[in-house]
Structure 1
């Protein structure tokens, strides 16, 4: 992107609504409650012919540095320092407040270009707030309505005037032919050869878990900076925030998510929105790390989150966080391994790593477990190997007889990966018992080394070449 823009302002003036308008998606949570946004959220924005990087920030409220509001203020100041331009959003309907004047003074001290954006200008009585904005001394305000999309052309002109056309419209860079991927989507998926795993492809990882399990602290330790808001308070994270970093030359895109409590406890509208955002992050990710609190592991909600991730078909890795607080770690580790095998039979062999987001212990092992799990999740097995395996399985344990008639499994092939899915042609597919399906799935895990990922096995009836002739005789 050519330049970076930060959206700043006091709480509940419409910053996240403007952010969603500029990125063209409902990425940021929006609610009438002040202070919904806490972490700074980046996005790729487009405004008419302008393309730039935009950062949504928390509403600025002066408070003690150690408080939650003080830490939110520090995050917003970092966004202002990163940006080339700040959009200072005010509520034209409510008019100026002392907090607006304090923010204006802080922006003036930064010495960077600032555009005063008078939001909610479509409302009755907004003219007074618009004209009051001139007293801030930051230039002519730009009246807009972020919710209805009014004034976007004026905002575009104001950005170009503040940065200059050379900065707003940089010359296009030539793209080398080798950098362009012209392969069609899904090419080669039906080939018999088992494709090699692409070690260079970017990997999307979602971090989920109960509130206060240490998810944001873990991501900050990976990044080596205080990128995400953390603290002793439970439920700090609300939006699903994505961050990118490199691990051994590979791009990793991680999603920090809100803590997920039991459904019966989620009553407030804002928490429901946060959990829905976390569920979208799980569906978008490839590998999901479920963070457990090692001091109180395997709560009922932990198991439900793991089951949810597996039902969504994602590759799952367990991270037992706060390992630095555990005493007698050898005994605790043996107990955790036993409980993992016993309580999560649907994910037999799932990788579990003890870590500490606070000290950085075990993070390399966690990343290695993520990569290994993703390899299994993407694995494809040739049809010839599968049919040889199916024949041997039937010899060891023949399919049961249902209503006096033996089931026949004739043919097997892998129809998809991510997660691995298999189709078996057989007689009377509806009669295959669940116990035999579990036998086949466990055999696939053991014989083809596919631990810890969901495996789908479907059955279909084979075509009867004489069926059409029988109908004609009737």
Structure 2
């Protein structure tokens, strides 16, 4: 698929255009310059064409070892790998020396360039628009990324630069009718007998990847871990805490299985999160947790089990995601046997709500233990999807209740009648009982622990609901005397 990178100095509206093209607020947007730091890919649609778009950090002149310099290196990598670059300028504020410098960079490194004049709807933008011709990159395309103006002109410029055949194309009803008449096969998923179909986009690979979110406190080594899996410096890393701001997704394969991994911003205690930008980053990370299947909680093994670490694990369990702990920076540990025994004891003692959680020692810096970590992810995901037949559950329930009956309340016995699994992801069960309110949290916890023990559900959240059976006589009308 065609890849298009959005390039420009900080705060010209790159992330706003990215969000408009992908049709959702994926990238963080703020008035402060330099919000975006990593390359963020997304599936974009513009009128009748579809392509992959990449948001990038604002280009800045800085030393290679500085944070800004490492951000620039990420952007230059995007320029080299893209089929076409949208060089974005802010015509409201006019050209700057940085625009001139980076226009020269694009002429040398980019395959193709389209000059995009953003904020063209603003009063007084005409001077900046006409000045942009001096960059020598052809006719500028005037747009307003915020208001959606000029998107048709941008689409035409893309097609003119690469040709319509280079894009995935939405098919109109007329085109579909022509294909029917000529006998050319329609795209997969289209009903050739459906007269009401208006447009069709050929689907992506139907095999859904395993969705993994990488979360943890700032500077725990999350981005380094993801880079090691990918085998390249795809994500920005460094000694500074809080480098990652957006939740960046990357795709790769592990043992032939497609994986979509989300690197997220570091999660600090809520009381410490004051700035608007950090609040947006935290919200983005929480959203990644909510939509992931497996969540890898990265702990710095040199300072594990801080209060915030425990809060993150508890959050993941309450969300019903499949949790795995990665004790990162294992290469820094000297007395490994003693540290390992201490980690096991603390894991069992401090995380009772995640009893049996898989915890792997690893190093994103050296790659040690990363295959074992992915094996733990795959095993936890399998358990998270596990289903148990109703017959087995009720046989199990009879044995458990006979061995340890529910407590009597006010001299009345609580009858447990029936049990079934209502869903997986996470495993969720429902018990029918005569007095749900009287069963008690202690007995419910006992049942959950026995479920975990007897059906091998260690390390995944379990949901257990209670309900009163319906009264079969409730709908009958009383007899008249």
Instruction: Decide which of 352, 361, 372 is 1:365's aligned counterpart.
Output: 372
User: Which residue in 1 is equivalent to 2:450?
Assistant: 443
User: Which residue in 1 is equivalent to 2:114?
Assistant: 115
CA contact (8 A) 2:49 2:170 kept: no
SS, match of residue 401 in structure 1 = coil
Change (3 A) 1:349 1:165: closer
Between the aligned partners of 1:459 and 1:306, the Cα distance in structure 2 is 26
Change (3 A) 1:465 1:209: same
Give the Å deviation of 1:432. Answer: 1.4
CA contact (8 A) 1:9 1:103 kept: yes
- Is the aligned partner of 1:273 residue 2:280? yes
Give the Å deviation of 1:176. Answer: 10
Between the aligned partners of 1:242 and 1:439, the Cα distance in structure 2 is 39
Instruction: Decide which of 209, 219, 232 is 1:225's aligned counterpart.
Output: 232
User: Which residue in 2 is equivalent to 1:89?
Assistant: 88
Give the Å deviation of 1:168. Answer: 4.5
CA contact (8 A) 1:292 1:318 kept: yes
CA contact (8 A) 1:220 1:228 kept: yes
User: Which residue in 2 is equivalent to 1:9?
Assistant: 8
Change (3 A) 1:155 1:427: same
Change (3 A) 1:229 1:130: same
Between the aligned partners of 1:90 and 1:27, the Cα distance in structure 2 is 21
CA contact (8 A) 2:262 2:288 kept: yes
Instruction: Decide which of 400, 411, 419 is 1:412's aligned counterpart.
Output: 419
User: Which residue in 1 is equivalent to 2:72?
Assistant: 73
Instruction: Decide which of 282, 288, 300 is 2:307's aligned counterpart.
Output: 300
SS, match of residue 93 in structure 1 = coil
SS, match of residue 366 in structure 2 = coil
Structure-2-length-normalised TM-score: 0.91
Instruction: Decide which of 346, 358, 381 is 1:339's aligned counterpart.
Output: 346
CA contact (8 A) 1:43 1:53 kept: yes
Give the Å deviation of 1:205. Answer: 0.3
Give the Å deviation of 1:295. Answer: 0.1
SS, match of residue 213 in structure 1 = coil
User: Which residue in 2 is equivalent to 1:394?
Assistant: 401
**Root-mean-square deviation over aligned CA pairs:** 2.0
Which whole-Å deviations, capped at 9, do the CAs of 1:402-422 have from their partners, x for residues lacking one?
121110100000000000000
CA contact (8 A) 1:243 1:253 kept: yes
Between the aligned partners of 1:171 and 1:452, the Cα distance in structure 2 is 44
CA contact (8 A) 2:92 2:128 kept: yes
User: Which residue in 2 is equivalent to 1:134?
Assistant: 133
User: Which residue in 2 is equivalent to 1:403?
Assistant: 410
Give the Å deviation of 1:180. Answer: 6.7
SS, match of residue 405 in structure 1 = coil
Give the Å deviation of 1:473. Answer: 7.3
CA contact (8 A) 1:201 1:250 kept: no
Change (3 A) 1:472 1:453: farther
Gap runs ≥5 in structure 1 = 183-199
Give the Å deviation of 1:119. Answer: 0.4
Map residues 48-447 of structure 1 onto 2, 5 A cutoff: 48-110=47-109, 112-168=111-167, 202-447=209-454
Between the aligned partners of 1:282 and 1:76, the Cα distance in structure 2 is 27
Change (3 A) 1:110 1:468: closer
Change (3 A) 1:100 1:263: same
CA contact (8 A) 1:36 1:238 kept: yes
Change (3 A) 1:166 1:409: closer
CA contact (8 A) 1:287 1:317 kept: yes
CA contact (8 A) 2:84 2:110 kept: no
Between the aligned partners of 2:169 and 2:27, the Cα distance in structure 1 is 28
SS, match of residue 228 in structure 2 = helix
Which whole-Å deviations, capped at 9, do the CAs of 1:186-242 have from their partners, x for residues lacking one?
xxxxxxxxxxxxxx7521000000000000000000000000000000000000000
CA contact (8 A) 2:51 2:168 kept: no
Change (3 A) 1:459 1:166: closer
Change (3 A) 1:6 1:384: same
Between the aligned partners of 1:342 and 1:470, the Cα distance in structure 2 is 56
Structure-1-length-normalised TM-score: 0.93
Between the aligned partners of 1:248 and 1:109, the Cα distance in structure 2 is 39
Which whole-Å deviations, capped at 9, do the CAs of 1:142-175 have from their partners, x for residues lacking one?
1100000000111111112222344357899x99
Which whole-Å deviations, capped at 9, do the CAs of 1:64-88 have from their partners, x for residues lacking one?
1011111111100111111111100
Between the aligned partners of 2:325 and 2:479, the Cα distance in structure 1 is 59
Between the aligned partners of 1:473 and 1:288, the Cα distance in structure 2 is 61
Between the aligned partners of 2:216 and 2:168, the Cα distance in structure 1 is 43
Change (3 A) 1:103 1:384: same
Give the Å deviation of 1:471. Answer: 5.3
Between the aligned partners of 2:378 and 2:317, the Cα distance in structure 1 is 17
Bigger drift between 376-385 and 48-57 goes to: 48-57
Matched pairs, number: 455
Give the Å deviation of 1:4. Answer: 1.2
User: Which residue in 1 is equivalent to 2:459?
Assistant: 452
